[in-house]
Homo-oligomer: A and B are copies of this chain.
Amino acid sequence: MDPSRPESIPDPAVRRISLYLRQLEAFSRKDRRTVSSKQLGESLSLTDAQVRKDLAYFGQFGHPGIGYNVDELITKLRQALGTDKTWNVLLVGAGNLGRALMAYRGFESKGFKLVAVFDGDASKIGKQAGPHLIQPLTELGRTTRAQSIRVAIVAVPAEAAQDVADQLVEAGIRGILNFAPVSLNVPASVTVNSVDLAVQMEQISFAVSLSSIGQPP
């Protein structure tokens, strides 16, 4: 396997790599030096074989008889995910959710920096949102180019989301994290990842309903 040309890596494996990284960072904070695939797997309820197979997609990072060096693996996985360099990110939508995302301190340490905020609502333009001035969507292209932004977060109402997505694509954005409860239509060259809170809740209610058959509430 040639790590510089990842050919095609299964989507589920890429998701787990993020989880390994999160876990490794926790281990590192506790000054742990090495970890085996078995230990890393147990901390996430996965098998050791799964862990080794996933890591092997990206290269040979382990040391037989020893395990993986925690800090070394962190470095390699960040490189693999592309988060060894900082990404400038823009946000569209300065409503409740958008402002909560702006205040969320979990992005910076992971290599993402929010550098611009936009909103389609004219009454919000020019207002301050945390450290950022809220810009109109007409500025998308200019700001995207000026700050080399490739990734956007969409936190607008469902009705506005597709229109916003179209404008983001037009402005040259390559990846979108979408919180609006709609399926966005974009060219294949643009990556969309959607988080629909209602969908998440429905998964839970389904599972809970199933496991409660015959049980009292």
Where the two chains meet, the residues of A that have a C-beta atom closer than 8 Å to any C-beta of B are 6, 14-15, 17-19, 21-23, 26, 43-45, 80-83, 87, 89, 96-97, 99-101, 103-104, 106-107, 110-112, 148, 150-151, 174-177, 181-183, 189, 191, 193, 195-212, 217
Contacts and interface: CB of A to CB of B under 8 A. Distances in A.
A106 B44 CA distance: 31
A111 B43 contact: no
A202 B202 CA distance: 25
Q: How many copies does the complex hold?
A: 2
A139 to B, nearest CB: 20
Which 8 residue pairs spanning A and B have beta carbons closest together? Answer: A82-B209, A100-B100, A175-B204, A191-B207, A18-B199, A96-B103, A110-B198, A82-B205
Contacts of A198: 18, 22, 106-107, 110, 112
B205 A106 contact: no
A211 to B, nearest CB: 6
B203 A14 contact: yes
Contacts of A101: 197
Contact of A208 (B6, B82, B107): B82
Give the one of A18, A19, A80, A196 with max B CB within 10 A. A18
